[in-house]
Every structure is written in structure tokens, then in C-alpha cells.
Amino acid sequence: MAALKNDRLLRALLRQPVDQTPIWIMRQAGRYLPEYREVRAEARDFLTLCSTPELACKVTLQPLRRFDLDAAIIFSDILTIPDAMGLGLYFSKGEGPRFERPVRTESQVAALGVPDPETELRYVMDALRLTRRELDGQVPLIGFSGSPWTLACYMVEGGASKDFALIKGLMFDQPQVMHRLLEILARAVTAYLNAQIAAGAQAVMVFDTWGGALSHRDYRDFSLSYMARIVEGLARENEGRRVPVTLFTKGGGLWLEAMAETGCDALGVDWTVDLAKARMQVGKQVALQGNMDPCVLYASTARVRQEVDEILKAYGRGSGHVFNLGHGIHPTVDPEKVAVLVDTVHELSRPYHTEEE
């Protein structure tokens, strides 16, 4: 593998000195880019795009040709694991992801197996290997998975949900069944992320999209405890350097200290979190990633620059901050605003790194 020319992201995730704050963007390869829409039309459907390594590699690299980003993230979907478990993933127009065969009974849970990442999910590993070669050391490549709780939400509900009635009903009435499902998923996610690391991912991230829907006690029992198992089971070094692990719970600002105790290297934070307070809570333990409201990108160029300035000020001097949105970029954002965001982060962050703490 080619030597890494820009390792800012990896250094910041490990709270090591950098010359400027690194930035990448959740869903940076996506529908807001006209070139992505062209490839998506060529693939005909989203699942074909995800499961064709050459196409997944192509769209992974697209934002790097437009913007001075500090990382690539492999183009994939969080629902690859339940799809590989045979639940019949499909995408319904206007409704998002759906499963033909939801998991709602003890017997259905018992029938689930942990997919082999190099067989049922080989297309993801092939996409990672191909993308690493094509990147040629330009920037690090991030791998990712959904959290066990988030995957379970889709598997039990059969798709996206507003009230989580089915999964919470299962959780409250049959907690032993819920824990069995989450235990299987934790093993699957651990194997999946370790395979991604072996295939070339230089950092990995766990997306706990729906953890914020849980109560304080239930979050710890049904989401965080399983992410902690995953962190414990991951390969933390490859190719002679540390592989940073980031945990992100959307709506998880109340649990940052508990999340930091898992042994992860970094925490993603959404825009509801005060970055200065978050750093005071966990700054010596973990790096922080975030946390601009994606809708700021609909505002004027001047307002985007102002928001970048305020977020950088909130984090303050020194390393340990990766600039990102508080969640994924919206499909109708103007790519020119993204260029402003990326360039402004690099420009305005340099003074914060002149003398590391």
C-alpha cells in the first residue's frame, strides 16, 4: 500500500498534533453531487450501486475530486448486515429501506446467523480494497457499520419508524429476546468491521442513528453496552499504525462521558451538543467529531463561514477535533457551499494549531 500523504484525520482522532483541523462530511458521496446522480442512474437502483465494487469505489472518490477533504468514507449502507442475514432488503420510493422478512419472534431471532464478511459481504471488502488502491495514499479511508441497536430497529420494525412501537414493545416485554438479537448483531458488526480493517479501512465508525430514541437507562442497556463490546473486539492496529474507532449516537449528548468509557478513540456529536462543554467533559479521553447543523449549508456563504468560525472557537486550541456535520448532508445542498465549508475549515483552523497544548 502507498504511504499516506495526508494523515491529518488519523492524527486528530488520536489527539495528536495537526497543522489544521481535518474535515470530512457524513454522506459526502451522495445525491447532492450531479456526478453521483449520473452513476446512480447508470446503476438503476441503490442496492446495485452499493453491491458493485467498481461503482462503489467510483462514487467514494467523487467528492475528493471536488473538495480538499481529509478522508474518504467507503460508499455503502448501514443495512448490509441484516441484508446478508437474509431479511430481503429493498428500497421503496418515498419510504426508504424496507425488509421483506422482519424479525419479531424468538424463533426468528434464533434462526439468525453471523454473516461471513468475506462471502456474504465480500462486495464491501472488494470495494474497500479497490478504493484503497485508487486512493494511492491521498487520504485515509474510513469504514463503518450501523450499531446493533440501530440495525435491530430496522430489522424489527421492517423499515424506518417514527415511534419505534414494535422494537420497544419487544424490548419491554421480552428483553431476553431483544438482548439475544443485539448479541448476535454485536458479533456480526465486530466481524464486519475487523474485515473492513483487514481490507484497508484505516479508521472505523459505528453509527448509532436511533440510540437517541431510548431512555437514559435503556440506552446504556440496549445500545451502549453492545457498542462497548464491539470496541473491545476490534483490531486496533493494522499496517503498523493505530486504527481509530469513532462512536456516534445521534441525540446522544447526554451520554458522552459513558460513551468515552468504552475505550473508543473519538465521539461523533450532533448539532444539539455544545462542543465546548463536550470537550470539558471528555476532551482528555477522546477526540470529538462534528458538529455543524447540515442546514447551515442552505445559508449564505458569509453565514457558512461564520458558523465554521463559531464551531472552531467552541472547540478551542489544540488537536482532537475533526470537523463534520452533525449528521448527513442533505441531497438538495449546493456543492459550492460544501467547497466553501471545506476551505473555510482549513483556513480558519490553522491559528488553533500553531502551538499545541
Is residue 235 helix, strand or coil? coil
Residue 152: partners with Cβ closer than 8 Å, 6 or more residues away:
167, 178, 181, 182, 185
* Cell numbers representing residue 195 in the block: 474485515
Q: For the segment 251-263, what is each residue's pLDDT rounded down to a tens digit?
A: 999 999 999 999 9
To the question of whether residue 27 is assigned a binding role by annotation, the answer is: yes
pLDDT band at 96, cuts 50/70/90? Answer: confident
- Provide DSSP, 187-198: HHHHHHHHHHHH
Three-point CA angle 327, 328, 333, nearest 5°: 125
pLDDT band at 355, cuts 50/70/90? Answer: low
To the question of whether residue 77 is assigned a binding role by annotation, the answer is: yes
Residue 251: partners with Cβ closer than 8 Å, 6 or more residues away:
211, 212, 213, 270, 272
To the question of whether residue 28 is assigned a binding role by annotation, the answer is: yes
- Catalytic residue list: 27, 31, 40, 77, 154
To the question of whether residue 36 is assigned a binding role by annotation, the answer is: no
DSSP 8-state code for residue 351:
G
Q: What is the pLDDT of residue 281?
A: 95
How many angstroms separate the Cα of 253 from the Cα of each of 140, 146, 273?
Answer: 27, 18, 6
Go through the domains of the chain in sequence order and give each one's CATH number.
8-353 (3.20.20.210)
Closest CA to 79 of 51, 108, 57: 51
Q: For the segment 208-243, what is each residue's pLDDT rounded down to a tens digit?
A: 999 999 999 999 999 999 999 999 999 999 999 999
To the question of whether residue 211 is assigned a binding role by annotation, the answer is: no
* Cell numbers representing residue 211 in the block: 440510540
pLDDT band at 357, cuts 50/70/90? Answer: very low
Q: For the segment 34-68, what is each residue's pLDDT rounded down to a tens digit?
A: 999 999 999 988 999 999 999 999 999 999 999 99
Q: What is the pTM of this model?
A: 0.97
